[in-house]
Structure 1
Amino acid sequence: MSNFIKQFSRFLRLRVSVSEWIYLIKCVIGAAICYLFYIFLPQYPVYWALISVVIVFSPDNSNKLAYDRIKSNLLGASIGMLLFLIPIPNILLICFGVALTILVGIALKLDNTLRSALAAMVIVLIEENQAHDWLIPIERVICVCIGCFVALIITFVFSKFKTYGQTYLKH
């Protein structure tokens, strides 16, 4: 067993960069926090926050990319909520949602994060054999926002650690 642990440790040191470790830690912390929301609020579909939070982070740990993905998630959730109010079949709503999300995302210069926006829009619009109840997309928008908020806090905290570490190492 100890040989396995040594080999595994060696493998991880050789294959995983510091940036990738930070990405892993951010994702695990975000998923754990959102899972706690899921446990403590079982009456709400907070599992969508889990998806939202892990979509925000990237292995390169770019704060700008994280902030853009948060904006994209909020954009997609908002478009999904607006389209939900239109009384047409769900397949048409999703198709219009895809087109509108891409167009608005491009207009807002969020080209690199459109997949996040599209995922959030689908989260809000998808119907899981449920009645067309307006409360469902509102709950999902809130859940996407919870995931974005958790990701925002984690990104902010890690950027402060990075700034503190760079300042500390200079002295």
Structure 2
Amino acid sequence: MEFQLGSSGIEGTRWSPPQAGFVKINFDGTVFGNSNSSSVGAVIQYHNGVVMASCAEKLNQAYKAEEIEVLATLKALQFAFDLGFQNAILEGDSLGLIKALKVEDHNLSPLGLLVEDVKLATNNFVSLLYYHIKRNGNSVAHNLAKHATRIPDFQVWMEDVPSHVVSFLHSDVVHLP
């Protein structure tokens, strides 16, 4: 397993394509305290920006921000694995989580145990790189997570994203050659 911690895109603010032979998995989690719920979103893209799949899930509990980011990571990895991807770049906007995934120490706190679950899920991949990206570079995954409030539980889009997320997708790939 190959691990790399870095910043993606132009100073970490813009989506950048994965290297050949890899897919990029962007993920995000959102907490809606007013409705006592949380949600996760993920999108898997090829190097040319083409969406292979995206998903959103509504969770009927308001998790802490750090917890929902870890749960979003787990959902994204399981989603990619279920679709058969083995070489991936995992990219999210939680720098603390990306750093925690790289550390080999075991943390037995509740959050640390969730991170350990993510580390176990990474064993399903041949090669997995971790990147941090700032929120505005992670807009597709962020908007997928926000969209989850409109669905009953879990929804998948194959080779697509919900219509209101298309503009965020286009703004990410417009600069690609």
The structure that is helix-richer by fraction is: 1
| Structure with larger RCO (C-alpha < 8 A, sep 6+) | 2
- When Rg is computed on C-alpha atoms for both structures, the one with the higher figure is 1
TM-score, scaled relative to structure 2: 0.30
TM-score, scaled relative to structure 1: 0.30
